[in-house]
Amino acid sequence: MPCAKVMLSIKGSRITKNVKHEIHKAIHDNTMRTFLIKKYEWTVGIFDSIDWPSHSACLRKRPALYTPAIMKLVHRWQPTMQKTSYYTQDNQRDTCTLCGGVETHHHYMYCGDDQYRLARKNEWLKLKKYATMACAR
Ligand SMILES: [Zn+2]
């Protein structure tokens, strides 16, 4: 900035907005990257293949209340019947209570129950409406 007396530069990039965010990112991103690669035994390629900006954008636009549910969905940690059947002693059922199909991670997208199918269709129509409205802006 020509009239500024000071300028923030991180790794050669001038920071002109969101200074707090950029400093936080510069401090913690590498630490988090190292932690995740070690924890999940990923390669750098696997880490880089993840669309981190989309994760961030999704979480930023939602109330913090939804963060755990979103993270469970992204990381496939949802307590589906298939998952819970691994650790529940009294209920080893892995099938959907509505349609009888094996309830896997993406079952909510394929459940054959008529009421569920109708609800899913209505939610898709709502999403389509919002997406159309967002594109029109
Ligand atoms: Zn089902």
Per-residue pLDDT reduced to its tens digit, 24-76: 888 888 888 898 899 889 999 999 998 888 888 878 888 888 888 888 887 78
Please identify, among 13, 30, 50, the residue that sits at the C-terminal boundary of a domain: 50
Going from the Cα of 124 to the center of ligand 1, the distance in angstroms, rounded, reads 17
In this structure, is residue 56 part of a structural domain? no
Whether 43 and 80 map to the same domain: the answer is no
* Pairwise pLDDT comparison (57 vs 100), residue with the higher score: 100
Same domain, 117 and 75: yes
**Could you tell me the CA-to-CA distances from 62 to 17, 51, 69, 131 in Å, in that order?**
22, 18, 11, 16
Could you tell me if 131 and 67 lie in one domain?
A: yes
Give pLDDT, residue 1: 53
Report the domain count for the chain.
Answer: 2
* 5, two tokens: 């007396």
> 13 forms bridges with which residues in the sheet?
10
What is the rounded CA–CA span in Å between residue 17 and residue 72?
32
Give residue 87 CA to ligand 1 midpoint distance, Å.
Answer: 21
Q: Is residue 55 part of a domain?
A: no
Ligand 1 centroid to residue 94 C-alpha, Å:
11
Residue type (1 letter), 132: T
Do residues 68 and 36 share a domain?
A: no
Count of C-beta atoms within a 10 Å radius of residue 94: 16
**34 CA distance to ligand 1 centroid (A)?**
39
State the pTM of this model: 0.50
Question: Which pair of structure tokens corresponds to residue 21?
Answer: 């965010």
The enclosing H or E element of 74 equals helix 67-74
Residue 94 forms part of a structural domain: yes
Owning domain of residue 38: 1-50
